[in-house]
Structure 1
Amino acid sequence: MDLEAAVENYAERDWRTGVEGTVRFALVGIGWWTTDVAIPAIESTELCRTTTLVSSSAEKGRRVAAEHDVDHAITYDEFHDGAAADAYDAIYVATPNAYHLEYAETAAELGKAVLCEKPMEATVERAERLVETCEEHDVPLMVAYRMQTDPSVRRARRLIEDGVLGEPVQVYGNNSQPLLEMIPDPDQWRLDPELSGYGTSVMDLGIYPINTARYLLDRDPVAVQAWLTSSHEAFSDVPDERSSMLLRFEGDVHAVSTSSQRAQRDSQLKVTGTEGQIDLRPAFGGQCTLTVTRGDVTVELSDESMDAEREMELEFDYFADRVLGGDPIGPDGRHGLTDMRVIEAIHEADRTGGVVEP
């Protein structure tokens, strides 16, 4: 096998169908991720445009709209009342987890497509309601797993499908960041279980290696064990300042995953097979280096132009391509529900000290 040729034989937008048009977005929740990443990403897309901003603050909405030449700025209440509904075709939900459902419900009732940030909601039950609402109103729903449109990750999946690793055997994933240095507020929503859901490190960070492993392997976890701890006073209301878990995937692939909200920023995802290994690092923070080893041959490929904004640009364009063409969406609501059930099982496994089947 020519490993170098196998690694390089990839088209970045392999999902592109050639459909033309524009999907106009209402962005719901204009925190730093929306203003610093999502809005600039949409400005770089081929198929998307931001036409509406939805915020709790009318003043902030108008200010950000003026800064980015966005046509409409409305409040959450105005959104629910249908204001500016003719100005957008889809919504992007980037509020705290526990608010995703209410905005998706309104969008579905208005016949708007929904791109919802991960995790889909705060609990499995609310996530189920979100999916059922979108299905009932026959509107497209995608969960915003931006790794699934990241070129390095898609290339890795193709290599695994082509048998470069032989049979997958094991996975190692980690994701950590210094949350309190990034956002120096102990009262922030990620540390409030009423808003974040089951916890903080698994919901916010651990979901990345779990979902990306699911995507790469095209398999789901069937059993989990977990150990969650919190020691810093800012994490007193959530069980998982740091987490570690064992997961057994379909086909007897074993995985170890760790995450922490109070540690040096780092991320990695490594898949080892009977004949080779794929290592993505940093796996979830842009500028990923893909290292592929088969026997005594190693090929390394880096994309220094990749960052969170470009990842989001590809994600938005993928979603728009599917909405415009009416084609099935890859990470849809049912796909996101599996992650919610796995996360719930992880927290249950920690509480019981046993093995839990999602």
Structure 2
Amino acid sequence: MGIHSWIQEYTERDWQTTTNGTVRFALIGLGWWTVDVAIPAIESSTLCETTVLVSGSKEKAERIADEHDIEHGLTYDEYHDGAATEAYDAVYIGTPNAYHFEHVKSAARFDKAALCEKPLEATAERAQRLVEAAEDADIPLMTAYRMQVDPAVRCARELIEDGFIGEPTHVYGNNSQSILEMIPDPDQWRLDPDVTGYGTSVMDLGIYTINTARFLLRRDPVAATAYMTSEHDGFEAVPDERAAFTLTFEGGVPLVSTASQNTQGDTQLKITGTEGQIDLDPAFHGKVILSLNRDDIHIDIENTSYSGDDEMEAVFDYFADRVLSGEEIYPDGHHALVDMETIHAIHEAAETGSSVDI
């Protein structure tokens, strides 16, 4: 089959195994992402329903629940005490990083499946405890890596597996934005190391490059080097206003990446091989554009029917599909632990100025 025919026949939801059933969600943490993205994504989904909202503010939970015709609005304490457990089957955790473990621990106690935002926790050690809590209770646990369900990324993955670029030789990635323009508050949680974890740019942005490269190559990093600096007053509590790091993947494939929370927005991921190249640009925010280059093949693919918001709808449906069918979850807790260990190694490498094994 020619490359053009292959792409035309590519199935967006190649992961779907069932169209029957509904998973009822309790959404924990009502920040802008949950309210503006997660709630509409579930409303548009085919296998999901929101039945419970959980917030630090009872008034906020009940107000947003009323606005979206959702049955229950709870406080965190009420959630942890087991209120309304009969009304939901799974939890979506969209709180700041350092609170993920406590919410998964309660989900495990109530025998509820857990879909947790990335990064999995604030540190690798806390993430390990989170995974163990889910395993001990035998509940499904997934990390919400939305790039893994994006059709362009999945198409790139299959092309790499089929040998379109030959043997992968190196990877370049970048993810940057201006967090203080997006959220003009220097006291926000992403700039608080007690809540965000190791830092801000690699934890929140660099993780996209790391995890998407892992997904595309089906290889894990084994060593890291890094440089970080923070110059702006708003970033004085975190080490990585700007970060550059290299990873060595299994098989000797190097990745070079940059990330910053205080610069012009830009996202790119480029995989180069012995015979060709695949470029995602933009890669991580909004509509992904896939560029293929090999010999006389030069194709730019933009899926006009698919937007960045559709990624979260697919994340929820993918998770629900796995919960309903019992099929294996690819980005499970152990998968996410590799990213946490990698980020830990990147920060250690920046502190020591040395290469760190992962």
TM-score, with length taken from structure 1: 0.99
Using the TM superposition, give the Cα deviation of residue 3 of structure 1 relative to its aligned residue in structure 2, in angstroms: 2.6
Tell me, yes or no, if the aligned pair for 2:177 and 2:263 is still in contact at 8 Å.
yes
Using the TM superposition, give the Cα deviation of residue 286 of structure 1 relative to its aligned residue in structure 2, in angstroms: 2.0
Using the TM superposition, give the Cα deviation of residue 93 of structure 1 relative to its aligned residue in structure 2, in angstroms: 0.2
Tell me, yes or no, if the aligned pair for 2:119 and 2:207 is still in contact at 8 Å.
yes
- Determine the structure 1 residue equivalent to 2:58: 58
- Determine the structure 1 residue equivalent to 2:101: 101
Using the TM superposition, give the Cα deviation of residue 30 of structure 1 relative to its aligned residue in structure 2, in angstroms: 0.5
Q: Verify: 1:331 aligned to 2:331, yes or no.
A: yes
Using the TM superposition, give the Cα deviation of residue 19 of structure 1 relative to its aligned residue in structure 2, in angstroms: 4.6
Distance 1:357 1:9 in 2: 41
Question: Aligned to 1:271, what secondary structure does the other structure show?
Answer: strand
CA-to-partner distance for each residue in 1:155-182, whole Å, 9 max, x for gaps?
Answer: 0000000000100011011000010000
Using the TM superposition, give the Cα deviation of residue 252 of structure 1 relative to its aligned residue in structure 2, in angstroms: 1.0
The amino acid that maps onto 1:183 is I
CA-to-partner distance for each residue in 1:125-151, whole Å, 9 max, x for gaps?
Answer: 100000000000000000010000011
- Determine the structure 2 residue equivalent to 1:119: 119
Tell me, yes or no, if the aligned pair for 1:19 and 1:325 is still in contact at 8 Å.
no
Q: Relative to structure 2, which stretch is displaced further, 340-349 or 246-255? A: 246-255
Using the TM superposition, give the Cα deviation of residue 306 of structure 1 relative to its aligned residue in structure 2, in angstroms: 3.1
Q: Verify: 1:181 aligned to 2:181, yes or no.
A: yes
Q: Where do 1:184-195 residues align within 5 Å? A: 184-195=184-195
Distance 1:356 1:304 in 2: 42
Q: Structure 1 stretches of 5 or more lacking a match?
A: none
- Determine the structure 2 residue equivalent to 1:199: 199
Distance 1:82 1:48 in 2: 21
Using the TM superposition, give the Cα deviation of residue 282 of structure 1 relative to its aligned residue in structure 2, in angstroms: 0.8
Tell me, yes or no, if the aligned pair for 1:287 and 1:305 is still in contact at 8 Å.
no
- Determine the structure 2 residue equivalent to 1:232: 232
- Determine the structure 1 residue equivalent to 2:35: 35
The amino acid that maps onto 2:83 is A
Tell me, yes or no, if the aligned pair for 1:37 and 1:308 is still in contact at 8 Å.
no
Tell me, yes or no, if the aligned pair for 2:19 and 2:46 is still in contact at 8 Å.
no
Distance 2:3 2:327 in 1: 33
Aligned in 2, Cα 1:285/1:306: closer, same or farther, shift over 3 Å?
farther
Q: Where do 1:281-292 residues align within 5 Å? A: 281-292=281-292
Distance 1:3 1:309 in 2: 28
- Determine the structure 2 residue equivalent to 1:84: 84
Using the TM superposition, give the Cα deviation of residue 122 of structure 1 relative to its aligned residue in structure 2, in angstroms: 0.4
Q: Verify: 1:22 aligned to 2:22, yes or no.
A: yes
- Determine the structure 2 residue equivalent to 1:342: 342
TM-score, with length taken from structure 2: 0.99
Question: Aligned to 1:284, what secondary structure does the other structure show?
Answer: coil
Distance 1:102 1:158 in 2: 37
Taking only aligned residues, the RMSD between alpha carbons, in angstroms, comes to 0.9
CA-to-partner distance for each residue in 1:193-225, whole Å, 9 max, x for gaps?
Answer: 000000000000000000000000000011110
Aligned length, in residue pairs: 358
